[in-house]
Amino acid sequence: MPSPNDPPAALPLTLDLEDFKGDFSFDALFGSLVDELLPEFHGDDAAGVPPPPPPLLGAAPPVFPAVDELLGLFKHSCKELVDLRRQIDKRLQNLKKEVATQDAKHRKTLGELEKGVDGLFDSFARLDSRISSVGQTAAKIGDHLQSAESQRETASQTIDLIKYLMEFNSTPGDLMELSPLFSDDSRVAEAASIAQKLRSFAEDDVGRHGVTSAVGSANASRGLEVAVANLQEYCNELENRLLSRFDTASQRRELSTMAECAKILSQFNRGTSAMQHYVATRPMFIDVEIMNTDIQVVLGDDGPQADSSSIAEGLSILYKEIADTVRKEATTIMAVFPSPNEVMSILVQRVLEQRVTAILDKLLIRPSLASLPPIEEGGLLHYLRVLSVAYDKTKELAKELQSIGCGDLDIEGLTESIYVSHKDEYTEFEHASLRQLYQSKMAELRAEAKQQSESTGSIGRAKGASLNTSPQQLISVTVVTEFVRWNEEAISRCTLLFSQPTTVAANVRSIFACLLDQVSQYLTVGLDGARESLNEAAAMRDRYVIGTSVSRRVAAAAASAAEAAAAAGESSFRSFMIAVQRCASSVAYLQQYFSNTISRLLLPVDGAHPSACEDMGSAVSVVEAAAHKGLLQCIDTVMCEVERLLSSEQKATDYRSPDDGAAPDHRPTNACIRIVAYLSRVLEVAFSALEGLNKQSFLTELGNRLHKGLLNHWQKFTFSPSGGLRLKRDITEYGEFVRSFNAPSIDEKFELLGIMANVFIVAPESLASLFEGTPSIRKDALRFIQLRDDYKTAKIASMLNSIMSE
């Protein structure tokens, strides 16, 4: 309430705590305080109040009329707010005391509740333990009850079995007084189960007492032998009856009845007899017409002489028909038998062991190695090809049957066992076949050579046809290619029949060794034949060697014969070079075959590849040795002709002209021209036939022989200065020719010959200067100097002695 001291303009205020609750707004509170004192500032009401009159001119501005009232109002409001704050603080203190009191009570209550909950948990634990104990007891009681029930049922069944056993223990062979169970067709399954149990029990009892039906010991369990015999008889009768019903249903394709019988029969020997009976009664195993048709399909109209491709086609057709039949049977087996995998195993085994084996026995007739089949009828190769085709097709059939289903049958092992006898002797037959093919080919080549020789006739023999044997008759790359083709076919058979790397490597190496022997023998014989022509040409040369004291007519005849012998030698040279070329091509083809085909089969096995390389190296060495002998004979043939030309064409006047003062002749001598022409002609085939080191070695040896032969030849002559110039021209001609040999050592020797020829050209007093530039020619030059025509007249010997002494 406002006090008496408040200004008269102050208005009473009543602030309440409710004004500060909820959505408090200071602007709203302030507006409510000043609205009555400042109505012109009050929202819409201020719009209707007229504005104050303007101040008079010259008068002071009026003071704010409500300022004192507002100050009083604000002070009074602050006082009330302070009072409200005190009230609120007092009320907060009281609330804190009440909260503390309530919290203490709450804590006390919580402590009491925790104690109660702990006790409750203990009670629950005791209850759970009790429930568990009761449950275990109940389970034990249930087990005992179940065991008791089982024992009751067992006892009941035992009583029934004993009753049935007593019935079977009656008079031996008398099954007429049995319970209706054993004669009721609708209860056959139950009767079969009981009969099997009775027989098992009786047999075990007899066995425990050491008694058999045949012995009849005194310690036997009395009467059970009769039961065993009767039960066996009944089971046999029941099984036969079921099998008969099964067969009838099978003929009618009544799968449900077949399945019912099969299920019952599975109680007898686990159904083995039923499975075997079903498989044995399949038409493909008992129909003779089917078995006869099989071999007809495979062999066709050609019979045993049918080629391997026709047999392969026939086997494909037959095996497809067999696979289709097994696939159809598999459908029936899956629908009928409780254990279809076992039945499929028996069926597939029977197919391979009976039907397939019967076909193979008629197809794979193993020939005798002592009396080989003629090559015209295919020889051993026909048997091996048929074996390869049959094995491949049988493996394909086995994979197809395995995809259809064969249970636990080791079909791969069974397939291998069918061919085990053939595979054991395979390598021996393969070797014999390769030998037979080789011998047949050699006989064919000999017959061709004989026929060609006979067609030549006496005219050919008169012209030396024996010396001009065609190289095609000696060595042919085509023949070697055929050898390799035989071997490649044999290798393909080997890799088909065997899979173990060690076995494959051993067989491949032995088969490849046959090829090495064939190629080595063929090439060696061919080279020896070509060498024989060289030997005959040499014999002709020796035959027409004559002395110096003969008539002109005899000499002319001998010269003509020598020309013929030279022509024969040149022809033999060409033939041998062609043989060497074809030999090299054949060896290269053999090595390529080894790298491309044989190596990859030998590398997986330690030591196999190096051993095969040694074998091939040995075979090639034999061929190289024969070729080396022939090449040396070729050099002998060439040098003999060179010596003949030197002897017949070289004249003494070539190097010592009677008219030495005439202008020198810068042309090569006739002998030189003839020899270079001969060498160019005859070595043309050598340049194309030989390659690499063989060519280099041959030409180097020929160059050395030519150098030596020319030196020996020129030592028979005396030389004038103009003759020396002509000699140097000959040497230049020879040197240019041998430069085509690409042999630096030979080029150097002929260059030294050209330098050495200067001993015939220079004046005697200038001879010393020749030795100063090239001391290496001193030894040969001293011999040449003695061939100067002025050697004695110019007293060159004394000059040489002084030179040598210096």
pLDDT tens-place string over residues 57-74? 444 555 566 777 778 777
Whether the pLDDT of residue 9 is over 60: the answer is: no
Strand partners of residue 481: none
Farthest CA pair distance, the chain: 196
Token pair listed for 794: 């110019």
- The sign of the dihedral angle between the CA atoms of 719, 721, 722, 726 is positive
So what's the pLDDT on residue 50?
Answer: 52
CA distance 66 to 438: 147
CA distance 580 to 527: 7
Token pair listed for 398: 């086995």
Angle at CA 329, nearest 5°, toward 328 and 334? 105
φ, ψ (nearest 5 deg) of residue 719: -125, 135
CA distance 581 to 689: 5
pLDDT grade, residue 76 (50/70/90)? Answer: confident
pLDDT tens-place string over residues 94-127? 999 899 999 888 888 888 888 888 888 888 888 8
Q: Note the Cα 236 to chain centre separation in Å.
A: 56
CA distance 324 to 400: 10
Mean pLDDT taken over the chain? 81
So what's the pLDDT on residue 684?
Answer: 92
- The sign of the dihedral angle between the CA atoms of 219, 221, 223, 227 is negative
Amino acid present at 51: P
So what's the pLDDT on residue 229?
Answer: 67
DSSP string, 682-736: HHHHHHHH--HHHHHHHHHHHHHHHHHHHHHHHTTS-B-HHHHHHHHHHHHHHHH
Amino acid present at 328: K
pLDDT tens-place string over residues 161-198? 666 665 665 655 555 556 555 555 555 666 666 666 66
CA distance 434 to 440: 10
CB 754 within 8 A of CB 735: yes
pLDDT grade, residue 11 (50/70/90)? Answer: very low
So what's the pLDDT on residue 225?
Answer: 66
Whether the pLDDT of residue 214 is over 60: the answer is: no
Whether the pLDDT of residue 792 is over 90: the answer is: no
Rg of the chain over all Cα atoms, to the nearest angstrom:
63
So what's the pLDDT on residue 193?
Answer: 63
Half-sphere exposure of 103 (CA within 13 A, CB side): 6
pLDDT grade, residue 344 (50/70/90)? Answer: very high
- Average pLDDT over every residue of 418-447: 93
So what's the pLDDT on residue 563?
Answer: 81
**Between helices 796-805 and 778-785, what is the axis angle to 10°?**
160
So what's the pLDDT on residue 116?
Answer: 84
So what's the pLDDT on residue 560?
Answer: 76
CB 358 within 8 A of CB 364: no
| Cα→Cα distances 188→158, 170, 185, Å | 20, 22, 5
DSSP, res 373:
P
CA distance 266 to 340: 12
CB 415 within 8 A of CB 395: yes
pLDDT tens-place string over residues 308-330? 888 899 999 999 999 999 999 89
Whether the pLDDT of residue 711 is over 50: the answer is: yes
- Residues contacting 369, CB < 8 A, separation 6+: 428, 429, 432
Q: What share of residues in the chain are helix, strand, coil (percent, to 5)? A: 80, 0, 20
Does this model's pTM top 0.75? My answer is no
Token pair listed for 133: 């104990």
CA distance 647 to 665: 21
So what's the pLDDT on residue 411?
Answer: 92
Amino acid present at 149: E
Half-sphere exposure of 430 (CA within 13 A, CB side): 29
| Cα→Cα distances 234→121, 157, 171, 200, 270, Å | 70, 20, 14, 13, 17
CB 742 within 8 A of CB 772: no
Whether the pLDDT of residue 10 is over 70: the answer is: no
Whether the pLDDT of residue 502 is over 70: the answer is: yes
**Between helices 426-462 and 501-543, what is the axis angle to 10°?**
20
CB 527 within 8 A of CB 475: yes
pLDDT tens-place string over residues 269-320? 666 777 888 888 888 888 888 878 888 888 877 776 788 888 899 999 999 9
pLDDT tens-place string over residues 578-615? 999 999 999 999 999 999 999 999 999 999 999 999 99
